Structure 1
Amino acid sequence: MDKPVDKPAKGKRPAAAGRGSKPRSASAERVRRHREKMKAMGLKPVTIWVPEDYNSPEYKAEIRRECELINADPESEIVLEGMWELADFGDWKA
């Protein structure tokens, strides 16, 4: 019979050896506190990757193509109208 292997939970990285022995920088500590505060509020961090050269002609052409696809979809107008109905601009400053 195989011996059970102690594995970390799926999606979790094992703790780095010696972690905690090196003090965190002030900015790293602020980020940690901010993340803990957001987590306590029930929020989850989301990372959005942006290409390095978002001003390149290829990238702009791809964005244009995707916008044209969205605009050509008949349901996109229905969704946009629904969003405008739900939007609340009462506290916006002119």
Structure 2
Amino acid sequence: MGKHEPLSSAERTARHRAKMRALGLKPKQFWLPDVNDPAFIAEAKRQSRLAAQCSDSEDVQKFIDAITDEWLAELDAAEEAASDS
């Protein structure tokens, strides 16, 4: 087999986006909090302390873990399908 020219960044991006669109997905831009911002860090610590004091914090954490596990499994499946395409 002949050697292929390496794809440019734009070509790799275009291929990836085409695969994701083929899966029925579309790109979106999201603005997220800056997790390095001191105000964000302080608020996260405050909310963590409140959650730790909650009487049913163990049940809440089990719920969060279950949702996270399900979401990560779906993400893994979508990434695997995209890489198979």
Band the TM-score falls in, shorter-chain normalisation: 0.3 to 0.5
Normalising by the residue count of structure 1, what TM-score does the alignment of the two structures yield? Answer: 0.40
Structure of higher RCO (CA pairs closer than 8 Å, 6+ residues apart) = 2
Higher helix share: 2
TM-score (norm: length of structure 2): 0.42
